[in-house]
Structure 1
């Protein structure tokens, strides 16, 4: 530690200001019990529109403001309620992970159904083409899946040589 370079005065002032801000933020937390180890984030709810604030009031049943309150009346009530919420970060993260897993599972099921429908449509189209070819030529045409690969040359479909 003795060989460390001394800090610049500007760095010391910044560090002091940071510690003072952190201690003032922590003073409001004394009476609250939270399971979170992080400091409370400040949220500016005044940026929300009146309809959002009214919806928040209705969902959380905040009875201290009337339903016809203005934005200026709603902001203190909503801010107070929002600040009182205790969040268990581990639980929130676990629920988020489970929700993502559930969503992924549903998407895999939807994709499987869509792939099955696409396969059925391909088979139906092949059967339709097979019937159309048989009707046009009046003879049995080999299954389309079993036909050798063709290539287009000069506008005429010719079988590839093996």
Structure 2
């Protein structure tokens, strides 16, 4: 998989494609001003909001278009590693050489996904890392949304709805 930057006429919107081979799996538009991200695939179109929190702004809250929290992100800028909790599931991630995003469950030697970021240049430079924590959150959100879709039952449970048997 690979995130590819697509030129946008607006300075406040960054557009990326998640590609696998020659296929575009997702289109992601990150709005710097509104701290929002739109993710689109052939089947779905979603809007998410990114909120920074924590004493050193090292925590990120991910909310859906209705303002409901769907995940949290902890990011260690010094080491380029962190934890992402998405819909009651916990994954770890690391940025290797500022060119690869690796998502894993238990150990980095057994990754769930490796995503190339070399074609996704960034205009920001935070600490030793190439991407801001908000951009990192967008990349992670997009990959998790693509790799780990919720089943219909999980969507109902997460929304707090009950099913009638």
TM-score range (shorter-chain normalised) is: under 0.3
Using CA pairs below 8 Å that are at least 6 residues apart, which structure has the higher relative contact order? 2
Q: TM-score, normalised by structure 2?
A: 0.27
Q: Kindly indicate which of the two structures has a greater share of residues assigned to strand.
A: 2
Q: TM-score, normalised by structure 1?
A: 0.27
